[in-house]
Amino acid sequence: MAPQTSQARSAELVALFTELGPAWGAWTNACTPATSVSYIRMRLLHALDANGAQTMTQLANALGVTQRRITALVDALDEDGLVERRPNPADGRSTVVSLTKGGAALQKLTWDEYRADISRAFEDLTPEQQKQLIDITPVLTQALRRHTASRPSTP
């Protein structure tokens, strides 16, 4: 078999990742515990749990969403009593979001369940394949972030 050209390899990677993205999204949504909030809201709660109180901009950047989307997410979680907002003491123009006791309790209860359930997808991989994925995923993630940041913003 002839070696694959760089262009053919790139085309194959694009095709594979075009399939992987939706499959991963469907899996993460399917694994979201019934007792939890939506996957994106659970990620927001996790970001607050892992990193403490954050501004809306920090949360938007952490989740990779727009300011409009983070506002809607925080509004919903605030309405459910899972987060609270307060003026930023360092900059009165921004808002700091933090977990409430109820939000922290829900996060602790559901995040571990979620991680255990979602990790089942990796049980089909050999230990060597898991190690390869661990090695390459951060490299690819950084490359994607770098390439995304260098693109012109879309309206």
Please give the full DSSP string across 39-59, using - where no structure is assigned: HHHHHHHHHHHHH-SEEHHHH
d(C-alpha 113, C-alpha 127), whole Å: 22
pLDDT number for residue 2: 59
Give 88's pLDDT tier (boundaries 50, 70, 90). Answer: confident
In sequence order, the β-bridge partners of residue 120 are: none
Judge contact between 115 and 75, C-beta under 8 A.
no
Q: Residue 1 pLDDT > 80, yes or no?
A: no
Q: How much of the chain exceeds pLDDT 70, in percent? A: 97
Pick the more confident residue, 54 or 109: 54
Q: Residue 111 pLDDT > 80, yes or no?
A: yes
Q: Note the pTM of the prediction, 2 decimals.
A: 0.73
Q: What is the mean pLDDT of residues 65-94?
A: 92
pLDDT number for residue 128: 97
pLDDT number for residue 34: 81
d(C-alpha 85, C-alpha 101), whole Å: 13
Q: At CA 71, angle to CA 48 and CA 64, rounded to 5?
A: 65
Q: How many CB atoms lie within 10 A of CB 48?
A: 25
pLDDT number for residue 89: 87
125-150 tens-digit pLDDT: 999 999 999 999 999 989 988 998 88
Q: Residue 119 pLDDT > 70, yes or no?
A: yes
Two tokens at 30?
Answer: 């399917």
Judge contact between 128 and 136, C-beta under 8 A.
no
Residue 49 sits at φ, ψ, to 5 deg, of -65, -40
pLDDT number for residue 104: 95
Environment class of 12 (CB within 10 Å of its CB; exposed 0-12, middle 13-18, buried 19+): exposed
Judge contact between 78 and 85, C-beta under 8 A.
yes
H-state helical runs in the chain: 6-30, 39-51, 56-63, 67-79, 101-118, 127-149
User: What does the mean pLDDT of the chain come to?
Assistant: 91
